[in-house]
Copies of this chain bind each other. A is one copy, B any other.
Amino acid sequence: MLKDFKKSKPEEKEALNAEIKELRAHLIAQQQQLREAKLPVLILLEGWAAAGKGSLIKDIISEIDPRFYNVVSPMVIPENESRYPFLYPYATAIPENGKLIFLDSGWMESAVQKTLSLEISKEEYKRRVRSVNEFERQLRDGGYLLLKIFLHIDEEEQFKRLEALSENMDTEWRVNREDLWQHREYKKFLNAYDEFMEDTNDTIPWHILDGQRKKVAARDALKLLVGLIDKALEKGRYTGEPFEEKFPLIKMPKLAEVDLSPTISDEEYKKELKRLQKRLAELHNVIYRKKIPVILCYEGWDAAGKGGNIRRVANPLDPRGFDVHPIASPEPHELNRQYLWRFWTRLPRTGHICIFDRTWYGRVMVERLEGFCSEKDWKRAYNEINEFERQLTDWGAVLLKFWIHIDSDTQLARFNDRQNTPEKQWKITDEDWRNREKWPQYEEAVNEMLKKTSTENAPWFIIESNDKKYARIKALKIVVKALEDACDKHFKREFG
């Protein structure tokens, strides 16, 4: 890639300027079409320090409506980064439909720098490369237009530019330690950039532009962008084809096979509740200090007892260290972005616990059954979700998923009870009755979900909840066990 890069030839200035002018006019015209077609565009701009990334962006956007794009630069990112997964700053910054964002350096610079500074291991680097490939593909499959540019200058040119910046009092602050380090280790970086680009070139290809000739680079970038948008406007929003990657799966029973008879005595319940909650409180403390993030996912039938179950888990926790996110139908600004965005933005910081009351699995349940997304969309989601969850557990998160299960008769009894008890009436709506009519379709969808997404790193647990007390104790035991294991593993990683 970079090693074989051929410098661009000098071009006739006036012709070049005319070309740029025309491309800009074209881009201006595309603005409104993109808005109408609701297409989101993400431009990743990587490259050498002092290669001119900032001015390249300026050259591209020079005349377009500033309400139409955003620029996200690393200056805005670093402070939170270490408390969140690697891709968090980028995944939370993706544009909404009809808008365009520029990432002025993104996942490549971050991965390469941290590898060369030995902040992350080679294994972690590989995981990050995999995450990047997954992330880019998911965006593309969700209809995003992605353009990846690397702005290249050679070692000599970089030296000249850094020197010129450093010698001028007004610009010397622009040269930072990382830039000087990069220049000193130019060859190492060259190899590392090349390796990264080769590793991430298959799904969305890289484009290397010549930073030595500013105008040529601007023209080439505009051409790429305008071409990409034209193609998308012509073909319409892309929807990716489903495909299955092999994840190590845990075999799950079908819902119909689950024995819902287990119960617990009141006495045993009280004793166990007390013991487990006490233990959970202790573990929360350890989790916090060891900075282990914890994500608990609750799904289940209406009236299965999700709320009460969540309450028993949340109750012993230090309220400063956890959040519960009730997930309702997405709001307009959420619908306008890839479907996992509203979960990325709700992730816990390291050391915190967050509980999702309903989750991203809405994609393969309600959105599938109500037609809120296309068949390709929900079929693709199993794999996408497995990838997303692996990114979370790679980050170090404990991720547990509960299906709170009851049978249809129990649901009916609870619905009737709610309907007939004035204080509970708010808990039951027409929608609940409508959903109940679709029990068989939901059951099929749940079975498929359990089968395809119970991975070893993020397993599903079916919680038998005809007896709610039994269900609470079962969930608590699973949480306690998982946190104990995580603390133990973490201890080994730190000292062993």
A residues adjacent to B (C-beta < 8 A): 29, 32, 36, 54, 57-58, 61-63, 65-67, 69-71, 73, 75-76, 79-80, 102, 104, 170, 173, 285, 289, 307, 310-311, 314-315, 318-320, 322-324, 326, 331-333, 349, 355, 357, 423, 426
Contacts and interface: CB of A to CB of B under 8 A. Distances in A.
A319 B357 CA distance: 39
A320 B104 contact: yes
Contact of A319 (B36, B71, B320, B355): B71
Contacts of A67: 307, 310, 324, 326, 357
A66 B355 contact: yes
3 tightest CB-CB pairs across the interface, nearest first? A73-B320, A66-B314, A66-B324
B54 A319 contact: yes
Contacts of A173: 289
A104 B322 CA distance: 13
A233 to B, nearest CB: 15
B76 A79 contact: no
A210 to B, nearest CB: 21
A70 B320 contact: no
Nearest to A79: B79
A62 B315 contact: yes
A322 B75 CA distance: 12
Nearest to A171: B285
Contacts of A332: 331-332
A61 B311 CA distance: 10
Contacts of A324: 66-67
Nearest to A83: B79
Nearest to A71: B319
Contacts of A310: 66-67
A54 B318 contact: yes
7 contacts: A54-B320, A61-B319, A62-B315, A66-B310, A66-B355, A79-B80, A173-B289
Given A311-B65, A426-B36, A58 B318 contact: yes
Given A58-B318, A65-B311, A318-B58, A70 B426 contact: no
